């Protein structure tokens, strides 16, 4: 008998029908002789709706209270799922993140898991129950407060529980058939990937492929937990994310030269205009940002105009942190002598990811060529060993992704990418 951790995303449990469909699938897994631990997300777009509601009552909602609000979404789905499973004749119990032993640091809205003590979950499955755990939430031992792990955090809950319970597999069920070479909502000719390494998946995830959260992939790599990403709507095999290539028939799946194209429209750009070009200024700007617990992504400093001795510094950050960043910089204005701040939330980031980039020098030029043929203007550039990213205007993102996808020969011969549910929000 094995122990399986299954995570069902919001689109898989969007309504009562969805919950009943998922419950049937869970009971089948249990009946085939496995112990089953399920991690569930909030129904459909519940989390977005709760955030909208919070913003209607407060422009920058207090972090602790926002966590209290958002964790209610997963409490609804976990209880309903447990009821649906029980009505199929299978015992089930639901648990909050705190009850399941998900211990985090005390940073609200993007806490990190620091330990998982799954005693109650193990005891529950040992008694024959299916244990249902609310995703995306935990508790801080320091403050005793409830925390959330950041958007998409249920993926991380699933992998962390799989590691703590020594599970045989962690299955992430979603609304597409696996990880594709691009978002199937944007590229109909995207191809399903059978196997992808942790390294390439990490880059895709941190570049905006929200099919898996990057922290979840980080965690899986650290504890070497293979992940199987698949659809809860079809019975098809999905994508394996692991260290070692999987076998297919007699053959091993090869590492792809280029794994895929990711895009991200969740970031904004802040430009600090007129910064004195002298040591310590950049440090002061980014100290103010980091003290506000904001993670930044790309940074560009323009060459200073010799006559003024002033320069501009631009950086990208999650849109959700935009107001906080502007507030932090305005507060630091006496210490940092800049002229003004510009905030631009109409940007998109497009990234090409593949381990083959290391050994193929032409990839960068081909990427820029594809964008220029599509008439896409590049505003910022950043690279890693296996990724190139550019920032463009948000309104050209779909065209740009399709152009790059075609240029690197990633298009499939058929329109095989099916999106079964979800609103893509
Ligand atoms: P869930 O609610 O199951 O957590 P998400 O919406 O978080 O689902 O993630 C699934 C979505 O990720 C898909 O519907 C798809 O639009 C998007 N996506 C982005 N990039 C990719 C990719 N490379 N492969 C598959 N899906 C992707
Ligand atoms: N419900 C949370 C969100 O929408 C967590 C998750 O779905 O993983 O971000
Ligand atoms: Mg998700």
Phi and psi for 365 in degrees, rounded to 5? Answer: -65, -40
Nearest to 41 by CA among 76, 17, 74: 74
pLDDT at position 137, please? Answer: 98
Ligand 1: lining residues by beta carbon, under 6 Å = 9-12, 41, 152, 174-176, 179-180, 182-185, 209-211, 260, 419, 422, 424
Residue-wise pLDDT for 117-150, tens only, equals 999 999 999 999 999 999 999 999 999 999 999 9
- pLDDT band for position 415 (cuts 50, 70, 90): low
| Three-state secondary structure call for residue 248 | strand
How open is the CA angle 358-363-368, to the nearest 5 degrees? 140
Question: What is the rounded distance in angstroms from the CA atom of residue 242 to the CA atom of residue 160?
Answer: 15
Question: What is the rounded distance in angstroms from the CA atom of residue 288 to the CA atom of residue 271?
Answer: 14
Residue-wise pLDDT for 307-345, tens only, equals 788 999 999 999 989 999 999 999 998 888 899 999 999
Mean pLDDT over 4-23 rounds to: 97
Question: What is the rounded distance in angstroms from the CA atom of residue 218 to the CA atom of residue 200?
Answer: 11
pLDDT at residue 425 is higher than 80: no
Q: With the CA atoms of 359, 399, 178 and 75 taken in that order, what torsion angle do they form, in degrees rounded to the nearest 10?
A: 120
Give the residue, out of 152, 175, 263, with the most ligand 1 atoms within 8 A of its beta carbon, to mutate for a pocket test: 175
Residues with C-beta atoms within 5 A of ion ligand 3: 9, 152
Question: What is the rounded distance in angstroms from the CA atom of residue 10 to the CA atom of residue 75?
Answer: 12
Residue nearest to atom 1 of ligand 1 (CA): 9
* Distance from residue 287's CA to the centre of ligand 3 (Å): 31
Q: Percent of the chain at pLDDT above 70? A: 100
Q: Ligand 2 in contact with 154 (CB < 6 A)?
A: yes
Question: What is the rounded distance in angstroms from the CA atom of residue 25 to the CA atom of residue 230?
Answer: 13
Q: Ligand 2 in contact with 41 (CB < 6 A)?
A: yes
Residue-wise pLDDT for 375-408, tens only, equals 999 999 999 999 999 999 999 999 999 999 999 9
Question: What is the rounded distance in angstroms from the CA atom of residue 60 to the CA atom of residue 58?
Answer: 6
Q: Which residues pair with 242 in a beta bridge?
A: 197
| Three-state secondary structure call for residue 202 | helix
Question: What is the rounded distance in angstroms from the CA atom of residue 152 to the CA atom of residue 157?
Answer: 10
Relative to the CA of 421, which ligand 1 atom is closest? Answer: 14
Mean pLDDT over 66-71 rounds to: 98
The domains of the chain are located at: 3-175
Q: Ligand 2 in contact with 150 (CB < 6 A)?
A: no
- pLDDT band for position 60 (cuts 50, 70, 90): confident
Residue nearest to atom 6 of ligand 2 (CA): 152
Proximal ligand: closest to the CA of 156: 2
pLDDT at residue 20 is higher than 70: yes
Q: Which residues pair with 276 in a beta bridge?
A: 310
Q: Ligand 2 in contact with 151 (CB < 6 A)?
A: yes
Residue nearest to atom 5 of ligand 1 (CA): 211
Domain 3-175 in CATH 2.40.30.110? The answer is no
pLDDT at residue 167 is higher than 90: yes
In sign, the C-alpha dihedral spanning 330, 334, 336, 337 is: positive
pLDDT at residue 256 is higher than 90: no
pLDDT at position 423, please? Answer: 77
Quote the pTM value: 0.92
Question: What is the rounded distance in angstroms from the CA atom of residue 39 to the CA atom of residue 133?
Answer: 5
Proximal ligand: closest to the CA of 177: 1
| Average pLDDT of every residue of the chain | 94
Is the model more confident about 308 or about 90?
90
Question: What is the rounded distance in angstroms from the CA atom of residue 50 to the CA atom of residue 232?
Answer: 25
Question: What is the rounded distance in angstroms from the CA atom of residue 373 to the CA atom of residue 369?
Answer: 6
Give the residue, out of 152, 205, 425, with the most ligand 2 atoms within 8 A of its beta carbon, to mutate for a pocket test: 152
Q: Percent of the chain at pLDDT above 90? A: 87
Provide CB contacts within 8 A for 372, sequence distance 6+.
Answer: none
Q: Ligand 2 in contact with 63 (CB < 6 A)?
A: no
pLDDT at position 308, please? Answer: 86
Give the residue, out of 153, 156, 170, 176, with the most ligand 1 atoms within 8 A of its beta carbon, to mutate for a pocket test: 176
In sign, the C-alpha dihedral spanning 186, 189, 192, 197 is: negative
DSSP 111-129: --EEEE--HHHHHHHHTTP
Is the model more confident about 301 or about 325?
325
């Amino acid at each position: 008998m094995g122990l399986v951790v299954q995570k069902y995303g919001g689109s898989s449990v969007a309504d009562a029908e969805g919950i009943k469909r998922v419950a049937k699938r869970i009971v089948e897994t249990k009946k085939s002789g496995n112990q089953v631990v399920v991690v569930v997300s909030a129904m459909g777009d519940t989390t977005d709706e709760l955030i909208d509601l919070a913003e209607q009552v407060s422009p920058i909602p207090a972090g602790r209270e926002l966590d209290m609000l958002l964790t209610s979404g997963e409490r609804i789905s976990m209880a309903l799922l447990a009821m649906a499973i029980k009505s199929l004749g299978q015992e089930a119990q639901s648990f909050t993140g705190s009850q399941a032993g998900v211990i985090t640091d005390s940073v609200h809205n993007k806490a990190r898991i620091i330990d998982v003590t799954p005693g109650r979950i193990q005891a529950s499955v040992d008694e024959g129950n299916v244990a249902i755990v609310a995703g995306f939430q935990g508790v801080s031992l320091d403050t005793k407060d409830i925390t959330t792990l950041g958007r998409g955090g249920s993926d991380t809950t699933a992998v962390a529980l799989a590691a703590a319970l020594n599970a045989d597999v962690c299955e992430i069920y979603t609304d597409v058939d696996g990880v594709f070479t691009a978002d199937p909502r944007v590229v109909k000719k995207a191809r399903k990937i059978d196997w992808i390494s942790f390294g390439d998946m990490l880059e895709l995830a941190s570049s905006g492929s929200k099919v898996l959260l990057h922290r979840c992939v980080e965690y899986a790599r650290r504890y070497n937990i293979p992940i199987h990403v698949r659809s809860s709507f079809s019975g098809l095999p999905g994508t394996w994310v692991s260290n070692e290539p999987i076998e297919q028939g007699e053959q091993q799946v090869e590492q792809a030269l280029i794994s895929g194209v990711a895009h991200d429209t969740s970031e904004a750009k802040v430009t600090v205009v007129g910064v004195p070009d002298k040591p310590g200024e950049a440090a002061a700007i980014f100290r103010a940002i980091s003290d506000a617990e904001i993670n930044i992504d790309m940074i560009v400093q323009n060459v200073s105009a010799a006559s003024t001795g002033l320069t501009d510094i631009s950086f990208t950050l999650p849109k959700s942190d935009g107001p906080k960043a502007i507030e932090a910089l305005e507060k630091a204005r006496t210490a940092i002598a800049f002229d003004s701040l510009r905030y631009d939330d109409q940007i998109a980031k497009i990234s090409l990811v593949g381990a083959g980039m290391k050994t193929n020098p032409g990839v960068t030029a081909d990427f820029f060529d594809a964008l220029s043929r599509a008439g896409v203007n590049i505003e910022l550039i950043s690279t890693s060993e296996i990724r190139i990213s550019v920032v463009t205007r948000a309104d050209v993102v779909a065209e740009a992704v399709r152009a790059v996808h075609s240029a690197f020969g990633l298009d499939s011969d058929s329109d095989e990418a099916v999106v079964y549910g979800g609103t893509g929000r």
